[in-house]
Amino acid sequence: MAPPDDDLRYLSPSFDPSSLTMAELRNIFMTHDISYPASAKKPQLVDLFTQELKPRSRKILAARDRVRRTSKGITNMPSSQEETVNSDVDDSGSMPPPPTPKQRKPRKSTRTSAESDAMAASAMVKTMNARNSSAKFTRHSDTETDQDHEPRQPSVRRKSRKSEAVPNVKVEQADEAPVRPSLKGGVFSDENPFQSGSSPLEPVEHRRKTAHSSSDKRKSSSGRRKTDSVALDSAEQPGSVISSTSKTFGIPVASLNRPSSEDDRDKTVEAGEDFTPEEQLELVRDRAVQGKRDILPPRRKPKPSRSFGTIPKSAPWVVVLALLGGYATWWRQEKLAVGYCGIGRSSHALSNVEFPRWANALQPVCEPCPQHAICFEDMETQCEDGFVPQSHPLSLGGLIPLPPTCEPDGERARRVKAVADRAVEELRQRKAEAECGVVISATGAVVSEEMTEEDLKKEVAKKRRRAMGDAEFEDLWKGSIGEIKGREEVSSSSDGSSLARISISCAVRRSARLTVARHRVSLSLITLTVASLLYIRSLIRTARNDTARVPPLVATTLDRLATQAALHARGDAVESWISVGQLRDDILRDEFSAKRRESLWKPVAAVVERNANVRASVREGRSGDVSRVWEWTGSLGMLDEPWSNGRVSGTGKRVNFGGAVDDNTPNGSTTPSAVDTPGQEDTIGHCLKYRPKYQRGFYEEEFLGESSLIVDVRSVIRELLEAEDLDGDCLITVNDPGPKSFYLKILNPHGRQEIRITGTYHLANLLQELFHAQRRGQNYVDLNPASLSENPVRRLQRLIQSSWWNNLIRSIDESGIGLAAKDFKPSEVDDGRARIYVPRGVPEQYAYYLKIAREQPTTNLDVQWLPEGEVTAEFIKSLNDKPGILALEMEEDPATKRLTGLPFIVPGGRFNELYNWDSYFCAISMIDTHPHVVKSILRHFIFEIKHYGKILNANRSYYLGRAQPPFLTDLALRVYTATKHEAGSKELLRHAVLAAMKEYHHYWMTPPRYDAVSGLTRYRPIGSGIGPETPASEFAHMLKPYAEKYSMTIDEIGQAYTYGAIKEPQLDVFYLHDRALRESGHDTTKRLEGICADLGTIDLNCLLYKYETDIAQTIRNEFDDNFPVSSAFCAPGQEADHVESSAVWDRASRRRKSLIDKYCWNEDKGSYFDYNTVTQTQTDFEYVTCLWPLWCGIANPHQAALLVQKTLPKFECLGGLSTSTLQSRGPIDAKNPPKQWDYPYGWAPHQILAWDGLKRYGYHEDAERLVYKWLYMITKVFVDFNGTVVEKYDVTQPKTPHHVNAEYGNQGLGFKYAPQEG
């Protein structure tokens, strides 16, 4: 077998198919009719080459070798390949030329002979020219070889005349080029245009063609001669001389330059088989050597060129169309680049070119994102679930970039309606069966005409088609249940039921029932009207009867009072007066209703007290009860002994406060006291409006005025604690087993006397008031009696607003840096210096603090720069041995031209810095009383985002990598609403929104916090090791195994791990989640322990949804939807001074809502849960943050209803909402110790957000109930435990909810005498 040439080199056995490109491999497969996958990669194509083509290579090459050259051109092969091979192949391997005639007439003998010869030669040469010319436009025939394109050597000429007329035929060797096999295994390919049965090539109009066929084809009636051979272009052989056709004989020479017409080309004489084209060429050349002139073919007349000065008439239209086409192309590209508003780039392609206003319409503008769509760049659109995209009618199949719309999925709606129809039909059937009868089940039980949702679902599921799966039916059922419930006949009556078989009696009863139901509104109104009239008539009659009873009751009352006075004058009665309450109950003893007695007695009392013979007063009875009394002062003519006979004695000086008896009056004798002493009733929440005189234990009605109690502070505190504080904690609580009765020694101009004070609340208030006086340096204090029995709610509110807030305010300037810089959290590496870190963007602050360090050396202040750029975990760890406070916002004092630190609130206790969400909840509580502090807190948050990239957990150096739950936008809107009338309020709102945008893009929406797979955001701060704010002993349960492993103490192993002396991957993972847990603000809880960094928590994503909606509404409502972003607030990658619109944030909020519904909502449980982005599963830990979607407005009404019905009861306890459920927390043991953010503890932030969320959705009663429970619990602890207010409560405990057994105890305890911060 001959080796393959270059065209078929891939058929060589040693050929490596991997050296071919994918295009070459596909071309080879097409050539050999081998199917291959359209998406196949190169390795697959190489394998296909090896498996399919290589085994056939020998067969293909053998078939190619059987192809022989012939002077007949390309002819059809016989149907049998075997016959073709036997007839064409011989020993020489070539086809011999046709036999030449032995005699040939000389050329001069007959002109026809010579003319015929010349015509034959010319036709052969033209055939060659045509072949060469067509090769430029069509691929080579499979039977051609490279030798056809090489210059041919002329054959040896003969000297005789005969050789001129009959040239010698040159015998050539057979070509060895491979031939592409046919589809059926034959020699030729089915794609060969010259083979019989294939499609003919399109004719080329400018070529001259000669039909090379048998004689019988020349007799065809068409009269047009065709060629099957491919002509060679004469331009490729510039030195050749071509014989002319027969038309050149007998015509003038001038006509040779005229191009031949179509008729001439059609009448061209075909070449015979006497001469081959090569022999004819040699003949012509021989004649030229002998000096004989041969007739040349006519040359084409050159076309006259168009003058440059002539412009075609269509030129302007061509230019206009070209310009329009170019503009259309540019406009389409720009439209795709601009895309949807806020997603594509802004339209600035021609921003450097000034256009008139009317020309702005020529530039493409952004399109708003369609409703129910999720939009991407290049105007790519994806519809939400349940919606399908619908192309714009003018988009022309996407040629014009116009946004589509998202239409409801009609097919799914149809199927949902079908399910709903089937369910309603099932209900109708049940109603018809149960009408006036009883439905008996298969088990014999009575079945109600009503069906539960689950039963109805089962019945409908039985009748579904077999091909429908459970998941598909479940999806359709969820979609149809709302439509089923919304149909009137389902909720009201039996419309559509079949009643053909009911009895007459049943029909009568049914008709009556339906008549009543049909007119139920009218009947109800009539009944209500009649009942109202009867009730009013009853009231009128009762009022008349009561009015008629007043005179007899007044007479009876006066008689009783006169009788009591007479008995007292005779000595038969101890008192001359009667208690009003006792008198009322005695006279109206037949009335058993307290309300009825009160209504009857009210007009009687009004008449009696206006009687001049009756005196009303407040006196102390024998049992020690102080009450209002009536005494008869009129004439006692019936008495035998005068008033003067009564004996008066006694000198008691002890008076009562809070309900004690006078025990110094012997035998009950009456003598007025010489000293008037102010008093106060002990009922909580009621302040006396009168100044009673203590005379023999009763009060005279007199206005209290400015009376006060002057006491010795130190001595009273000492005596009070000795008497009441029996447990030694310097507090008076319900736990103290003391007498709860104290005689307060007062000083006044009349000498020394005592007032008795009883009750835990009053005694604790006395201790607190005395302690505050002692702190002010007072030895004597003028006590206001009203402060001892002040309403607990008002007292608590007053203390918060006037005292506790002020004690928690800090500022970082020369007046407050000494206190603000103190860090009370345990830190083993703190060097004890007050240190402040200043960001590079505020050099004036750096200079200011350096000046303070020089002027106040006692502060021992160390001022440090923070580095520029992003803060890394390693840098934060490098500050562990020199922690410090971080600078906050300052302003210049206009009077002194010096910087002044803006105030802020700290949580108190060991937390002495500006915290994130702690400050938010403090701010919304003090915005009415301390608006300047709230505005300062907002400005501090903006400063932190601007210079630290986020609102920090707190402004300490070890918190540089950690944030907290973001509430900035809500705080900004609250401040703006409260201060809208003030100058600069809108500018402050603008800066707050800018800061929120930067924090959103720069921190919360960047990896590793943003999870690109789910689209949710996680708590995941940067850091390494153990932070200095938490000692290693706090993690003893985690570090103990490693301490034993390395033979170290807990503190030593903590230091070794933090600074890299040991490497423990498990500790790395633990502290990654621990930092995330602390960033969440819920440190600590079982819900987040060990997985927090992997969770897309419902609370964080709700807060970011609130960011998105607040920003969108603020831009739209306050800034006219045009909000430029300055470079100071641009996140990395954002263009400076770009303009934000509300559409971008609306779209972001809709996307986040859909993601929360997809990953966090659980329809079956009716609640929200966290989503684990690593395991891609929804957690099942029940936590109170599932109610935050109500606060931020992300829940729809259906979800809100399920939350209130199913979820809220799980968290509601005696004192409010618990953080988690008992079931989720699990039992408490060594492996699951109690945690402060788990059941049964409740925190104020969760309560406040739940209240606001419930009210937002209209559940006001539930909100008010929860408010009351929480405030009652706080107030009760405040009253019973010496004014205690703490950060968290055990909401399940009725007596001591402030006692917390968790890792950090409870903030707000540990004070003495009186709380300072709450």
Give SS3 for 916: helix
CB distance 689 to 618 below 8 Å? no
- Given a cut of 80, whether residue 386 has pLDDT beyond it is no
Within 180-267, residue ranges assigned H as helices are 215-218, 262-266
The string of DSSP codes covering 147-164 is GGGSPPPPPPPPSSHHHH
What is the rounded CA–CA span in Å between residue 575 and residue 698? Answer: 12
CB distance 980 to 972 below 8 Å? no
- Given a cut of 60, whether residue 278 has pLDDT beyond it is yes
What is the rounded CA–CA span in Å between residue 251 and residue 1282? Answer: 138
Buried b (16+ CB within 10 A) or exposed e, 1116-1134: bebbeeebebeeebbbeeb
- Given a cut of 60, whether residue 1146 has pLDDT beyond it is yes
- The token pair that represents 399 in the structure block: 């040629």
Residue 699 pLDDT: 30
CB distance 510 to 435 below 8 Å? yes
Give SS3 for 1294: coil
- Given a cut of 50, whether residue 327 has pLDDT beyond it is yes
CA 364 to chain CA mean position, Å: 30
Higher pLDDT, 91 or 335: 335
What is the rounded CA–CA span in Å between residue 1090 and residue 1069? Answer: 8
Q: Cα–Cα distances in Å, from 410 out to 417, 483, 1155?
A: 10, 15, 24
- Given a cut of 90, whether residue 587 has pLDDT beyond it is no
- The token pair that represents 376 in the structure block: 């991407």
Does the annotation mark 1287 as catalytic?
yes
Tell me the pLDDT tens digit for each residue of 937-962. Answer: 999 999 999 999 999 999 999 999 99
Q: For residue 1084, say if its preceding peptide bond is cis, omega within 30 degrees of 0.
A: yes
Tell me the pLDDT tens digit for each residue of 218-232. Answer: 343 444 444 343 333
pLDDT band, residue 267 (cuts 50/70/90): very low
Residue 146 pLDDT: 40
CB distance 789 to 684 below 8 Å? yes
What is the rounded CA–CA span in Å between residue 809 and residue 713? Answer: 29
- The token pair that represents 892 in the structure block: 């210049």
**Quick one: which of 1010, 1171, 1186 has its CA closest to 1092?**
1171
CB distance 145 to 176 below 8 Å? yes
What is the rounded CA–CA span in Å between residue 945 and residue 952? Answer: 8
Q: Cα–Cα distances in Å, from 479 out to 383, 461, 578?
A: 18, 14, 75
Q: For residue 277, say if its preceding peptide bond is cis, omega within 30 degrees of 0.
A: no
Tell me the pLDDT tens digit for each residue of 1102-1117. Answer: 999 999 999 999 999 9
CB distance 1238 to 1083 below 8 Å? no
CA geometry: angle 51, 55, 61, nearest 5 deg: 135
Higher pLDDT, 1313 or 1230: 1313
Q: Which amino acid is at 942?
A: I
Higher pLDDT, 1308 or 932: 932
What is the rounded CA–CA span in Å between residue 289 and residue 378? Answer: 74
Buried b (16+ CB within 10 A) or exposed e, 387-400: beeeeeeeeeeeee
DSSP 8-state class, residue 753? E
Residue 469 pLDDT: 80
Q: Which residue has the tokens 């009853």?
A: 538
Tell me the Cα Rg of the chain: 54
Could you tell me if residue 1015 is left (phi over 0), alpha (psi between -120 and 50 degrees) or otherwise beta? left
Tell me the pLDDT tens digit for each residue of 459-491. Answer: 788 777 777 887 888 878 877 777 787 776 775
pLDDT band, residue 719 (cuts 50/70/90): very high
Which of 1083, 1099, 1108, 1146 is labelled catalytic?
Answer: 1083
Q: Give φ, ψ of 590 to 5 degrees.
A: -85, -10
Tell me the pLDDT tens digit for each residue of 895-905. Answer: 888 899 999 99
**Quick one: which of 483, 368, 369, 374 has its CA closest to 1153?**
374
492-500: average pLDDT: 45
The string of DSSP codes covering 1117-1173 is HHSTT-EEE-GGGPPTTPPTTEEE-HHHHHHHHHHHHHHHHHHTEETTTTEE--EET
Residue 309 pLDDT: 53
Which helix (H) or strand (E) is 710 found in, with range?
A: strand 709-712
What is the rounded CA–CA span in Å between residue 730 and residue 771? Answer: 11
**Quick one: which of 819, 832, 837 has its CA closest to 879?**
837
Tell me the pLDDT tens digit for each residue of 121-155. Answer: 444 444 444 444 443 433 443 434 343 444 444 44
CB distance 20 to 10 below 8 Å? yes
pLDDT band, residue 1268 (cuts 50/70/90): very high
What is the rounded CA–CA span in Å between residue 1268 and residue 1279? Answer: 16
What is the rounded CA–CA span in Å between residue 1180 and residue 919? Answer: 31
Tell me the pLDDT tens digit for each residue of 822-873. Answer: 887 755 555 678 899 999 999 999 999 999 999 988 888 999 999 988 889 9
**Quick one: which of 1285, 923, 1101, 864 has its CA closest to 914?**
923
Residue 69 pLDDT: 58
What is the rounded CA–CA span in Å between residue 514 and residue 326? Answer: 76
711-723: average pLDDT: 91
Buried b (16+ CB within 10 A) or exposed e, 306-339: eeeeeeeeeeeeeeeeeeeeeeeeebeebbebbb
Residue 1010 pLDDT: 96
Within 739-895, residue ranges assigned H as helices are 760-775, 792-799, 805-808, 817-820, 843-855, 873-878
CB distance 867 to 855 below 8 Å? no
What is the rounded CA–CA span in Å between residue 1231 and residue 1220? Answer: 18
Which of 148, 814, 1108, 1287 is labelled catalytic?
Answer: 1287
Higher pLDDT, 660 or 1172: 1172
